[in-house]
């Protein structure tokens, strides 16, 4: 295996794959390192998840994403992105985790930067590999890094942060924490499968971000007492057989077998901050520093693609707009690499 590339891309989600396609089309040598397999985050979506975006907006690499429905489901997306990888024969190394990114000596005169990327196998923890690359693109997303619930009992085994399927919770007491799309979708599926569902949300009303075609059905479940909804409510503690809530100063105990803490996700900042990427904050959200025209961070030669560029504001970048980052990145990389080649060619001519 070649261990030295023009570009090393971390993450094989749609935005990472789009970046790989753009690099390949421009003749750059590249490799995509992925902790799981292709579009791992989408694989972890609920089994029956329907996307907010239409299929045409999720397509990459000029390969049409065609489904009968206007909005595709999780499994259709998995099939589509696998096909994209096959069509382009993309160079992907799956089940490999990037552990560190190190800057090597840089040739600042020629605007060339070098990185050493260390990895470990997710299948054999004793297997480590080291790659070098002129440029690094981090496209790791955020979905696989859930926010922690900071209350007593949050580490109990019955507390989960990802909802997959409802069947195991038939006739069980289930508490869903959160009031946005992931929480509402889970609550609907759980009620449909016969679970006794309670939803806790600290807001005073339904979130405006809930998909408009989903909200009426959920409101109907609440009105008909098929789902118990608590607004203005916080979780105080989680016990083996119940959950303690506080609504407007009043403590409430709810029988419980399982808790789904659907309280959001965040990027893995450590990988990029360790190599020097700076994080800014507006008091509400944190976000990495980068050039919106090139997606290059304050660390020269290191770029961001996809939702990681949005930082904590998960409603800012999606697949449908993040997929265009790859074109910006590849254009900028080619510009610098071509410049180096031109300098080398001129020096060679002078020596002759």
Q: DSSP class of residue 106?
A: -
The span from the CA of 317 to the CA of 314, in Å, is 7
For the chain, the structural domain boundaries read: 4-144+265-351, 159-261
SS3 call for 305? coil
Take residue 210 and report the two structure tokens written for it: 């809930």
The span from the CA of 198 to the CA of 260, in Å, is 10
CATH superfamily, region 4-144+265-351: FAD/NAD(P)-binding domain (3.50.50.60)
pLDDT at 39: 97
Q: Tell me which long-range contacts 120-124 makes (C-beta under 8 A, separation of at least 24).
A: 120/96, 121/95, 121/96, 121/97, 122/35, 122/36, 122/95, 122/96, 122/97, 123/95
CATH 3.30.450.60 correct for 159-261? no
pLDDT at 317: 86
pLDDT at 102: 94
Asked if the domains at 4-144+265-351 and 159-261 fall in one CATH topology, the answer is: yes
pLDDT at 341: 46
pLDDT at 96: 97
The span from the CA of 338 to the CA of 342, in Å, is 6
Tell me the pLDDT of the chain (352 aa) as tens digits: 678 999 999 999 999 999 999 999 999 999 999 999 999 999 999 999 989 899 999 999 999 999 998 899 999 999 999 999 999 999 999 999 999 999 987 665 555 668 999 999 999 888 999 999 999 999 998 887 888 899 999 999 999 999 999 999 999 999 999 999 999 999 999 999 999 999 999 999 998 888 888 999 999 999 999 999 999 999 999 999 999 999 999 999 999 999 999 998 888 899 999 999 999 988 888 899 999 999 999 999 999 999 999 988 877 888 999 999 999 999 999 998 754 444 444 433 343 3
């Amino acid at each position: 295996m070649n261990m030295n590339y023009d570009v090393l891309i971390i993450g094989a989600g749609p935005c990472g794959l789009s970046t790989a396609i753009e690099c390949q089309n421009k003749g750059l040598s590249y490799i995509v390192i992925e902790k799981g397999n292709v579009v791992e985050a989408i694989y972890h979506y609920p089994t029956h998840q329907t996307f907010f975006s239409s299929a045409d907006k999720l397509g990459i690499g000029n390969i049409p994403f065609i489904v009968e429905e206007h909005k595709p489901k999780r499994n259709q997306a998995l099939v589509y992105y696998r096909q994209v990888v096959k069509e382009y024969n993309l160079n992907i190394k799956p089940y490999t985790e990037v552990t560190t990114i190190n800057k090597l000596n840089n040739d600042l005169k020629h605007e060339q930067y070098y990185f050493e990327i260390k990895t470990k196998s997710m299948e054999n923890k004793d297997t480590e590999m080291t790659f070098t690359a002129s440029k690094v693109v981090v496209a790791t997303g955020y979905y696989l890094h859930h926010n922690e619930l900071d209350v007593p009992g949050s580490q109990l085994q019955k507390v989960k942060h990802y909802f997959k399927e409802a069947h195991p919770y038939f006739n069980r007491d289930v508490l869903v924490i959160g009031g946005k799309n992931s929480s509402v979708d889970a609550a609907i599926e759980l009620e449909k499968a016969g679970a006794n569902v309670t939803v806790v949300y600290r807001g005073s009303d339904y979130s405006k971000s809930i998909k408009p075609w989903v909200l009426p059905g959920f409101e109907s479940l609440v009105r008909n007492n098929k789902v118990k909804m608590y607004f203005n409510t916080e979780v105080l503690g989680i016990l083996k057989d119940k959950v303690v809530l506080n609504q407007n100063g009043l403590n409430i105990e709810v029988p419980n077998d399982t808790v789904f803490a659907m309280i959001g996700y965040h990027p893995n900042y450590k990988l990029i901050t360790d190599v020097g990427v700076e994080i800014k904050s507006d008091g509400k959200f944190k976000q990495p520093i980068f050039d919106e025209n090139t997606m290059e961070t304050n660390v020269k030669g290191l770029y961001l693609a996809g939702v990681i560029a949005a930082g904590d504001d998960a409603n800012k970048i999606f697949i449908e707009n993040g997929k265009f980052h790859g074109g910006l990145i590849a254009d900028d990389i080619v510009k610098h690499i071509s410049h180096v080649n031109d300098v080398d060619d001129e020096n060679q001519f002078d020596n002759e």
